[in-house]
Amino acid sequence: MTQSEAKAEAVKRVFILGMDGAGNFVQQANTPHLDAWLPRGAFTYEAQAELPTISAECWGSVLHGVRPDKHGLNNDKAANEPYPADSPYPSLFRLIREQQPDAKLASFTGWDPINSGIIENNLGVYKVSLPDAELVPALLGYVEENPDVRLLFLQLDEPDGSGHRHGYGPDSPEYLKMIGTCDERIGMILARLEQLHLIEDSLIILLTDHGGGGAETHNHGSDHPMDRNVFWGCIGPGIKQGHLSSPVSITDTARVTALALGLATPAGWDAELPKDLLTRGTFSRA
């Protein structure tokens, strides 16, 4: 591989951009931005949420690289207790802080317990918790001032709230409309990243944590495919383009991120690298 090829495939930062409770119903919603961006990398609409298919358990697995029986998170704990600073299953943010002490880290969430109870405290992570409509402008301002951010996480909360109010799935127009609204917001972020020339050396992961409407129309938590099947996509240097044929868990997000950023990972991680994700065996180092 030539020096120019290595430079082109180096990852300087990772953006994990998620919406809560959207399942794989983006296929029925009006999502022109996801429709345009997902094929720019590797993607699937059959990725698997963790069990139970509940927000803290699932976002905990995305960020900590292990299943819920290991990270031990649930909604009540996340809302009321800080995540243990000495856990053998640290978040990606703690891994980066320990191994790359000067890295800029940021988390923007519509659901505050992610920032207060899933991501450890006292790591110097720039944390913002706001309603979705206010969250995206805050994120855009941060990225413009901090293009050298190493890891940025986004969780838009409103699809899940709409599902609880109006029902999940393709027969709920209010729910599908909210997924479309979140697609617009993610589209704004991706457009700004392009304007700032950050796309070519960034890894972008687009996902949701779970779906809903399987066992109960207005709820989630079961192993029903409506609750468990979710969309997941990865775009960036060294990533293949097209549908992923190998199985993907939302937990694998942590492995992909760690590998892209050159992080050593704890023993006992459940996160794996999807077999057909990369164009070669590993990422080039930035």
Residue 65: pLDDT above 80?
yes
Check: CB of residue 152 under 8 Å from CB of residue 126. no
DSSP letter (8 states) at residue 284:
B
* pLDDT tens-digit readout, 86-113: 999 999 999 999 999 999 999 999 999 9
Top pLDDT among 188 and 7 is at: 188
What was the pLDDT predicted at 56? 98
Residue 3: pLDDT above 50?
no
Q: Encoding tokens for residue 129?
A: 């918790």
Query: What is the residue extent of each domain of the chain?
Result: 3-261
Residue 47: pLDDT above 70?
yes
Peptide bond into 52 cis (omega under 30): yes
Pairing of strands 242-243, 42-48: parallel
Residue 136: pLDDT above 80?
yes
* Residue 283: pLDDT band with limits 50, 70, 90: confident
Rounded CA-CA distance 51/72 in Å is 12
What number does CATH give the domain 3-261? 3.40.720.10
* pLDDT tens-digit readout, 198-224: 999 999 999 999 999 999 999 999 999
* pLDDT tens-digit readout, 219-243: 999 999 999 999 999 999 999 999 9
The answer to pTM > 0.85 is yes
